[in-house]
Structure 1
Amino acid sequence: MQLVSRYCFISVCLMVLLINKPSQVLAEETKLSSHQMPYSSLSAKIDGELTDEIWQHAKTFDLNIVNYPWNNKGSPVKTSAKIVENGEYIYVSFFAEDPEPEKIQAFLGDRDTRWGDDIVGIKFDTFNNRRLNYEFFVNPFGVQLDSIKNEMTGTSNDSWNGIWDSYGKITEAGYQVEIAIPYRILNFADNDEVKTWAFELIRSYPRDTRLRISHIPLDRNNDCWLCQYPEIQGFKEAKTGKNLMVTPALVATRNETKDIYTPEDNWHSENDVDAGVDIRWGINANTLLNVTLNPDFSTVEVDSGQLSINKTYSLFYDEKRPFFLENADYFASNYDLVYTRNIADPDYGAKITGTEQAHSYGFFITNDTETNFFVPGNTGSDLATLNRESHSAAFKYRYDFTDDLSVGAISTLRTADDYHNYVFGIDSKYRLDDSNTFSGQLLNSNTQYPTDLYQSFCYGESDTDCDQAKDVDCIFGNCQYSEQVHRTKFDNDITDLAYKATYEHSSEYWNITAEHQNIGKKFRADLGYMPRADYQSDKVLLDRLFYGENDTFWQEMKLSGLWQINHNEKGEFLDKTLATSFTIDGPMLSTFDAMFTYADKVGLREDESSLAIDGNTTRFTEKLATFYANVQPNSQLYLESEFIIGDKIDYRNNRLGDYRELYANISYNFTRHLETELYYTNSTLDANGANVYQASLTELRVSYQFDVHSYLKLNLVYSDIDRNPENNPYLSVSKRNKNLSSQLIYAYKLNPQTVFYLGYSDNSFQDDYLNHLAREQRTFFTKISYAWMP
């Protein structure tokens, strides 16, 4: 009841602010300029020549205002854009002049990989409700970059991939780009009336600094840039056609494994040929239906490597699968309740998303041949796996009362034999004025775990170890318990609440965030990424911004301060953090950041048979200094580095250690076609005068882009973890663990759905029982899919 009372108090305050908003503020509606979208029955050949007759009917815009880092000052380069539509496509062209075209930064690359290049593009808010906008950008070689920006969450989803046409070419005077965006990939009001969309035309110009050039000025004191976009009216003839896409796919794999601990063991192979189909149907321009049957994700490129050593919470990985990415923003909320990487291997899925005036909605349902979810805690989380099929679903609805106030409802579920997790909640966002925003979310969950699930988090020799009474050896990791035993051992289903309330101020010189959240001891959101429970937090983040002049070596500088304190549900102290940082940009597209952190934290529970914090943990003080820098000396070379040094908890042995971590990234484009990226991380922890562990992660990615449609990529990820068994007193550890994974893949992508893959991957491992890296798995695969659009 206390949680509900707090949230109700916050909600009442928000409504009072709404009702009592000064009348003069309500009356000061932003006067947005309006343009007419020209229509022509002609069409254009997308070849970058800009000679088709349809361009004579287009409306021309001059992009001559630098919004960032300069404050709406004149652009040093000229850019013009034209826009016209023919009822089936929106055509956009750009002519980007450059006094030194040899300095144009552009390379061939896979889709969505060249955001750092010279690019031009357009943004569309097709419902003109200032909540979501489509973003279409192209570099001088025609490489496509697209995304969906969610104004409600402030995030951009560049994993979304629409099917549209583009072409770019470099000329003696600069470069020019031609774009055709079909209406069938957009959501908009489905009627024969004149429509009003918000839009912006943009050029990114990276030289010594990166200039954001637009055709409109933007007020830095208004945090919602989308709210300031001008309007364009027309689109009366816009038709989505049948808006049906059927994408059958055929996948063939040969997977080989062997027992690396048995030298005489031979490879054991398994061949598989599988067929699937994806269906995308625009029921109308407002509503989209996606269906996938027997999908296969084996050709998704390997995830970026991450070191998990000395981390107590589960790692986060980005979603890459098209079915889950399509309109994923419709399911976004204050908490990350829909983390679809939890769905590992579905047989089918169906999703419907849409917008109708002030209403937005999304629903999906899918099964999974296995069941994975996070078991949260307040000192760490772990992954649970049930060897059974499950079903998952999510529903999100949002109603926009006004341009400033939105209220939504969200629900997720996961079910399997002897297991379920149901979550239901409401969220809201209210813009008090241009610079101040309130948001909040209240959630309730109901969960039933299998009665024997807790035993998977027992580390004893028998299933009854976790049922034994406390004994004197049950300390510092020697106990047969882990925290997740307590989080999963229940006789009946469990119910609890979670809520979050956030205030944000964003203006030209100040950014302020104040947040309170409380996640109940028995709250679970198994479809989401919520690795914490039994947790409450208060946080304040303050930024002070400074701006340089056009002729200074820096353009923006920021001083930041962070205060955060966390407790469990009983009010027992978990940790407190004070941090300050200084960030400045510089010449050659460089950034430098220095951060100093002072954190008071608790370590392991001394008696793991109890969840108590007070009297059951030791406090440690972490003092860390973090230095980060990146620079781009020329268009071909990018350098990035981060160094962390100081005192850090050795979680496995419940003590403070001396910590050092170095991260470096070198990216070099040898030619317009060939790019090499090398990532290296080295982490070292010493305690009691001796080494505890040294871990390194090396990742090499080499890509040869034949053209905008095809590439050959080699990915190598190598991890090397060396531990000192003599200085790990509370944990039995292997002295060495080495792992090498590789992938070679050729791809031809006519569009994001019509693709051909041919690839090979393998994995090698070494530990104390092997004197060399031994290959334990290898896979050969091919996939072909074709997007049929009647």
Structure 2
Amino acid sequence: MKSLKYGIIVFVCLTAAILSSLTIPFSNNEIKTDTNKISNFYRVSPPDSILCNLQTSAWLWHNSNNLYILCELEINDDFVMGRFADNDVSVDSDYFRVQLISDEANYYAYGYMAFPLGSKLDFIRNSAHSNDKNWNSDYTYTSDFANNIWTILFTIPFKDIRRNGIAPYNWKILLTRYIKDKRQIFSSSFCLTKMGNDYFRRANDIKINHEIHGSSNLSLIPYIMFDQDLQNNEIKFDEKNVGLDIAYSPNVTTRTKLSLSPDFSDIPLDNVVDTYNSKYVPTYEENRYFFVEDFDAFGVDQSLFYSRYIVQPEYAFKLTTGNSNYSLGILSSKDKPIASVNNAPDFYNIIAFKPVLNKFRCQFTLLSRIDDKISDYHNEVLHLNPIWEAGKNKFFWADLNSSFYSLKDEDKQGNYLKLGYREYSRHHNFCFQVLEMTKDYTADMGKNYEDDFYGWNLDYSTLNHIKHSVFNEMETSISLGEEIDNRSNKLLERKFTFGADLFTSSNLDYGFDFIYYKEFVANSGVSGEYFDKFRMGFNLGWDRFNSFENRLYINFVHYLFYGLNENHDGTIVQYRLSGVISKNLSYNFNLDYSIYPDLPELIYDKEYWIGNFDLVMNISNSLSFSQGLRYDDYEHGNYSQYLGYFANIRWNVTENLDVFAGFKEAMNKIDSENEIDFKTLYIKLRYSY
């Protein structure tokens, strides 16, 4: 009966939202009436639809250039202020979020965040509900406190929002309030990411009856950098230390960006991770803004385009455009030759087109890699991804990839095909796929490790709200799959994973996971043998205090060591700690300890530590100092230790001028002697026109 009651509540809430549409009045002055007000905020985490017990209201109006949203939020003694932060950095605090949906057919939303201390974070949410935080708008907001009321006034420029047609504009809006102390999220209307595309469809309807403006936007950002190699006491400055970013938006639907000799010196060192017994070369997350901003327009993942292959681009160009009927993306980049990392000066090109026809859409993407020095080398991949929405949150899809590779006298053509079905609801997510890759499939722009196999995968997860005095949510997941050799029909790999997480009202969480693999390893001859490997893990997390949020993982493993073709037992302990000490200071720390008692030390280290530490001091939202340590004492060959350190200063001097300065050093212990890998100091000035 309880589930029926909540089902009726949700139905009433959603029906009311669907039948009503809020007309936003035109005005250059503040308007606060019941006709332009949104005040019903329902709890979506946990998803029980209970109204927020703290009064939360928002009023909307607009003029020709901007949308204005005035928010008044009742607060109490549990309110979490958080800290100062750089732009596009999430703050662990209470917050208020606005999401605008101007193109429902393509299932994306523009997001704007307000934090108590005034830092900014904007993003684009895509149909897979991942957020591109590298998208930037010119939104602003004020944040004030008086009489237990948090007052926010958003100013959101229309020029940053893609839209179709002329007035009236029928858009949607989703407002969200997060209460950090209780880990509760309230939303108007009731929308969950588990709803898939309904997350966008069921947002509040809004109507703008007056014409709004969207002028072209040209941005020039030149920069100059001074780089000193402290190891060799050399100051480096030439034409490579000068660069230019050009961004041009001729209208509200089209954006172009060109970076000439882009510099990423202010990007921190990669975290040290345990890859010492990896079967494949590890991949690293992309953290350079050019290659992640607007990248969803291209419809590809790392298996087709691994942007970290482009070590230091000479140039990078990107264009994205679209409307309710299609989207188009073009990317081109050329890498610089770097002898120290054996880096080829290749051209990387992508063109992507996606038409949208009601319940059907299809991604067309062509990728090409051409070597500048070897004129007869080229590799192209045509990627097709049709998706048909057969019913409410029920999808049939295909992922079709055809490659062509040519180098001197060698030409080969191959295919990689996947077919699948997916459905999801508020509490369940199910996906099944079959796949096949031929022997000659080649995608040199991406990361692929196997070929000439077929297989299948099944994934299922469920999230349940629990009516219990201690536990309030439980999430479980299961995954099954096989890979089979095309020629011999021999099993190559079988996997099974299971995970369960319990969440409590006291911010204490429990987790369990089990992963099993059966893997075929070929010997030097034609034969081979099977190995069973597994990991059983337990984790416990507690984030009751904002200054001390931690999680402990304990994993018992039975791993295959590829250099020995042997299984060995081990224990891996991982500890994660982060917190906000004050409005000016935050930190993040992780430490891993691995031990394999019976592992021979001739090839592998049987006991080692890996650690990463970051400390960020924000004097204000425009001035910050960050530093970090990277540590690893894994012994292999004559190497026995790695230590990395970086420090960065970012100062937003004015609205147009940014100053960056930093220091990076990496050191390896070789034959018990410390040897410096690199040691550099840089200063970068960037000015926006």
In structure 2, distance between residues paired with 1:328 and 1:193: 30
Match of 2:174 among 181, 192, 200: 200
Distance 1:739 1:405, change over 3 A: same
Q: Is 1:109–2:85 an aligned residue pair?
A: yes
Q: Is 1:87–2:5 an aligned residue pair?
A: no
Q: Which has a greater percent of strand?
A: 2
Query: For the Cα contact (< 8 Å) 1:686–1:692, is it kept in 2?
Result: no
In structure 2, distance between residues paired with 1:371 and 1:445: 27
Partner secondary structure for residue 499 of structure 2:
strand
In structure 2, distance between residues paired with 1:534 and 1:544: 34
How do 1:251-400 and structure 2 match up within 5 A?
Answer: 251-257=225-231, 267=233, 270-272=236-238, 274-333=241-300, 336-370=303-337, 387-400=343-356
Could you tell me which residue of structure 1 aligns to residue 646 of structure 2?
743
Could you tell me which residue of structure 2 aligns to residue 467 of structure 1?
none
Query: For the Cα contact (< 8 Å) 1:58–1:84, is it kept in 2?
Result: no
In structure 1, distance between residues paired with 2:191 and 2:590: 37
* More displaced 10-residue stretch of structure 1: 278-287 or 746-755: 746-755
Distance 1:166 1:312, change over 3 A: farther
Percent identity, aligned pairs only, is: 17
CA apart distance, 1:156: 2.4
Could you tell me which residue of structure 1 aligns to residue 135 of structure 2?
160
Distance 1:533 1:618, change over 3 A: same
* More displaced 10-residue stretch of structure 1: 630-639 or 54-63: 54-63
Could you tell me which residue of structure 2 aligns to residue 784 of structure 1?
685
CA apart distance, 1:516: 1.7
Could you tell me which residue of structure 2 aligns to residue 6 of structure 1?
none
Letter of the 1:205 counterpart: I
CA apart distance, 1:714: 1.0
Letter of the 1:330 counterpart: A
Could you tell me which residue of structure 2 aligns to residue 520 of structure 1?
438
Could you tell me which residue of structure 2 aligns to residue 409 of structure 1?
364
Distance 1:71 1:502, change over 3 A: farther
Partner secondary structure for residue 75 of structure 1:
coil
How do 1:365-764 and structure 2 match up within 5 A?
Answer: 365-370=332-337, 387-402=343-358, 404-416=359-371, 417=374, 418-449=376-407, 491-549=409-467, 552-570=469-487, 571-603=489-521, 605-607=522-524, 615=527, 617-687=528-598, 692-723=605-636, 733-734=637-638, 736-749=639-652, 754-764=657-667
Query: Could you state the TM-score of these two structures normalised by the residue count of structure 2?
Result: 0.90
Match of 2:185 among 190, 212, 230: 212
How do 1:123-272 and structure 2 match up within 5 A?
Answer: 123-151=99-127, 153-189=128-164, 192-208=166-182, 210-218=183-191, 222-224=195-197, 225-234=199-208, 236-257=210-231, 267=233, 270-272=236-238
Match of 2:75 among 87, 98, 101: 98
Could you tell me which residue of structure 1 aligns to residue 21 of structure 2?
34
CA apart distance, 1:205: 1.4
Query: For the Cα contact (< 8 Å) 1:747–1:758, is it kept in 2?
Result: yes
CA apart distance, 1:598: 2.6
In structure 2, distance between residues paired with 1:761 and 1:32: 58
Could you tell me which residue of structure 2 aligns to residue 727 of structure 1?
none
Partner secondary structure for residue 184 of structure 1:
helix
* More displaced 10-residue stretch of structure 1: 197-206 or 271-280: 271-280
Partner secondary structure for residue 43 of structure 2:
strand
Query: For the Cα contact (< 8 Å) 1:554–1:586, is it kept in 2?
Result: yes
CA apart distance, 1:673: 0.6
Deviations along 1:670-691, one digit per CA (max 9) or x if unpaired, are 2111112211112233446778
Partner secondary structure for residue 112 of structure 1:
coil
Deviations along 1:48-98, one digit per CA (max 9) or x if unpaired, are xxxxx4668992211421122132222222211122222222222322212
* Structure 1 stretches lacking a partner, 5+ long: 1-27, 43-52, 259-266, 373-383, 452-490, 724-732
In structure 1, distance between residues paired with 2:481 and 2:475: 20
In structure 2, distance between residues paired with 1:137 and 1:336: 32
CA apart distance, 1:507: 1.9
Query: For the Cα contact (< 8 Å) 1:162–1:752, is it kept in 2?
Result: no
Query: For the Cα contact (< 8 Å) 1:667–1:677, is it kept in 2?
Result: yes
Query: For the Cα contact (< 8 Å) 2:226–2:235, is it kept in 1?
Result: no
Distance 1:184 1:506, change over 3 A: same
Query: For the Cα contact (< 8 Å) 2:482–2:494, is it kept in 1?
Result: yes
In structure 2, distance between residues paired with 1:81 and 1:750: 33
CA apart distance, 1:204: 1.3
Could you tell me which residue of structure 2 aligns to residue 730 of structure 1?
none
Deviations along 1:340-372, one digit per CA (max 9) or x if unpaired, are 222221122222111133111111112111399
Deviations along 1:693-743, one digit per CA (max 9) or x if unpaired, are 3232111111110111110011111111035xxxxxxxxx34x43111111
Could you tell me which residue of structure 1 aligns to residue 8 of structure 2?
none
Deviations along 1:154-203, one digit per CA (max 9) or x if unpaired, are 432233333322332444414232322222322222x5432222221111
Query: For the Cα contact (< 8 Å) 2:38–2:58, is it kept in 1?
Result: yes
Query: For the Cα contact (< 8 Å) 1:749–1:756, is it kept in 2?
Result: yes
Letter of the 1:287 counterpart: T
Distance 1:57 1:558, change over 3 A: closer
Deviations along 1:575-611, one digit per CA (max 9) or x if unpaired, are 11222222111134333210122321123x321xx6x
Distance 1:512 1:72, change over 3 A: same
In structure 1, distance between residues paired with 2:68 and 2:279: 51
* Structure 2 stretches lacking a partner, 5+ long: 1-14
In structure 2, distance between residues paired with 1:694 and 1:96: 52
CA apart distance, 1:237: 2.9
In structure 2, distance between residues paired with 1:515 and 1:750: 52
Letter of the 1:654 counterpart: N
Deviations along 1:88-119, one digit per CA (max 9) or x if unpaired, are 2222232221232x542522223333354211
In structure 1, distance between residues paired with 2:545 and 2:405: 55
CA apart distance, 1:619: 1.1
Query: For the Cα contact (< 8 Å) 1:313–1:531, is it kept in 2?
Result: yes
Deviations along 1:119-164, one digit per CA (max 9) or x if unpaired, are 111111222214211111121111222222111x343223333332
Distance 1:759 1:67, change over 3 A: same
In structure 2, distance between residues paired with 1:631 and 1:196: 43
Letter of the 1:275 counterpart: V
How do 1:15-30 and structure 2 match up within 5 A?
Answer: none
CA apart distance, 1:288: 1.2
Q: Is 1:74–2:51 an aligned residue pair?
A: yes
In structure 2, distance between residues paired with 1:528 and 1:659: 33
Could you tell me which residue of structure 2 aligns to residue 455 of structure 1?
none
Query: For the Cα contact (< 8 Å) 1:367–1:392, is it kept in 2?
Result: yes
Letter of the 1:66 counterpart: R
Partner secondary structure for residue 721 of structure 1:
coil
Distance 1:341 1:85, change over 3 A: farther
In structure 2, distance between residues paired with 1:220 and 1:113: 21
Letter of the 1:251 counterpart: M
Query: Could you state the TM-score of these two structures normalised by the residue count of structure 1?
Result: 0.79
Distance 1:722 1:371, change over 3 A: closer
Query: For the Cα contact (< 8 Å) 2:260–2:316, is it kept in 1?
Result: yes
Distance 1:717 1:139, change over 3 A: same
How do 1:761-772 and structure 2 match up within 5 A?
Answer: 761-767=664-670, 769=671, 771-772=672-673
Query: For the Cα contact (< 8 Å) 2:215–2:250, is it kept in 1?
Result: no
Q: Is 1:61–2:17 an aligned residue pair?
A: no
Partner secondary structure for residue 323 of structure 1:
helix
